Amino acid sequence: MNATLVRALAAFLQLSSWNGLVNLGLEGDAERQTTKLIYDGEGILSRGARFLRKIGLVGLGNMGLPIAGRIVQAGFSLVAYNRTKAKQDALRGKAEMVGSQREVAESADSIIIAVSDTTAVEEVMFSSQGMYERIAAGKTVINCSDILPSTSKRIMEKLKRKNINYLEVPLVGGPVQAKTGDLVALVSGDRTRYEENLDVLKTFASKVFFIGPVPGAMYIKLALNHLSASYAQSIAEGSVLVEKAGLDPSLFIQIVNSTGFKTSFSEIKAMKMVKGSLEPTLYLRHMLKDLDLTDQTAEEMKVFLPLLQQVRSSYLGAYNMGYGDRDYSAIVKFIKDVNRMK
């Protein structure tokens, strides 16, 4: 498209207050990026902010807040809501903050949900104050919360009856990766809807895997949660063993990080874990919830997962000892408690 045509189109958009998507094909991209035209009143066209589509976000917790930051930074219009209003303050002036999830449903084109668990997603969608009644056909709900795969599928089917699209997008990584845009996103749902929303997903996820039909992504996420809970517990048990032997557990972590057993957990969290407490990035109660989801799913599928049972019992023990609102690496405190160590 030549410059004169682009300017004419921009002037038309300005005059008509047209609010839609313009695919200029200016960047020749495979992801069908949409470009925002800005007409400054003097005929100068800029392409500073690239998007006209409005993104909604419900849930500004440890994950939702940095995700919101990335979306705004990338130039999208964002409308957001959090049940506890105080958490909205961090976004004031940067995004449109509204008083209910229903207002998000009414004004956004794609709506991201990042809330605690299966019950929370169902409440946000289907309670008497839920979004379901207010989402128009053709819009897309993007669920980034870890929930029961069978429920995720039921939600998709219910939305489909109203021609509302559903993408299940569990995320790998925590708030630190969300802030830097380095999450890994697993996507299940319709491929076309995935492609349409890839630009927004890429604002917070540097790697995006399209898995296929719902709830494939959720199954993979549960398997990964099992892995990270087991790994954290193994590091905790190893450091307790080393400490009991009169050695410095920091040395153990340092050695782990010099071997093929190194992970982002051992690099970022493990040293802090053996030295004291950590700011929660994933609450231990959420890790227990994820292990419960895996257990329930294995039960539905009649799959025997013996390690899962043991790890889940440990996290349940830690939760019952009062560590639910600590970071999940507080599993080390529980292992110390049962070994009568400080």
Residues that bind ligand NAP (CB under 6 A): 59-64, 82-84, 87, 114-117, 120, 123-124, 145-146, 171, 174-175, 281-283, 286, 290
Q: What does the buried/exposed string (b/e) look like for 235-268 if buried means 16 or more CB atoms within 10 Å of the residue's CB? A: bbebbbebbeeeeebeebbeebeeeeeebebbeb
Q: Would you say 16 or 84 has its CB closer to ligand NAP?
A: 84
Residues 6+ apart with CB under 8 A from 332: 235, 236, 239, 240, 273, 274
Shortest reach from residue 170's CB to ligand NAP, in Å: 6
Q: Would you say 64 or 238 has its CB closer to ligand NAP?
A: 64
Shortest reach from residue 131's CB to ligand NAP, in Å: 10
CA angle 216–203–227, rounded 5-degree value: 40
Residue with tokens 């950590």: 278
- Contact of 109 with 140, CB cutoff 8 Å: yes
Q: Would you say 98 or 120 has its CB closer to ligand NAP?
A: 120
Shortest reach from residue 311's CB to ligand NAP, in Å: 16
Instruction: Compute how many other C-beta atoms are within 10 angstroms of the C-beta atom of residue 304.
Output: 7
Shortest reach from residue 172's CB to ligand NAP, in Å: 7
Q: How many helices (H) and strands (E) does the chain have?
A: 14, 11
Shortest reach from residue 48's CB to ligand NAP, in Å: 30
Q: Is the sign of the CA dihedral 287, 289, 294, 295 positive or negative?
A: positive
Shortest reach from residue 182's CB to ligand NAP, in Å: 12
Residue nearest to ligand NAP (CB): 61
Burial class (CB in 10 A: 0-12, 13-18, 19+), 54: middle
Q: Would you say 129 or 339 has its CB closer to ligand NAP?
A: 129
Give the helix/strand (H/E) hosting 142. strand 140-143
Q: Would you say 183 or 198 has its CB closer to ligand NAP?
A: 183
Shortest reach from residue 98's CB to ligand NAP, in Å: 13
Q: Would you say 39 or 126 has its CB closer to ligand NAP?
A: 126
Q: Would you say 204 or 252 has its CB closer to ligand NAP?
A: 204
Q: Would you say 238 or 324 has its CB closer to ligand NAP?
A: 324
- Contact of 303 with 342, CB cutoff 8 Å: no
Dig out the tokens for 215 from the structure: 């709830």
Q: Nearest-CA neighbor of 223 among 282, 116, 286, 298?
A: 298
Q: Nearest-CA neighbor of 261 among 273, 253, 249, 271?
A: 253
Q: Would you say 165 or 225 has its CB closer to ligand NAP?
A: 225
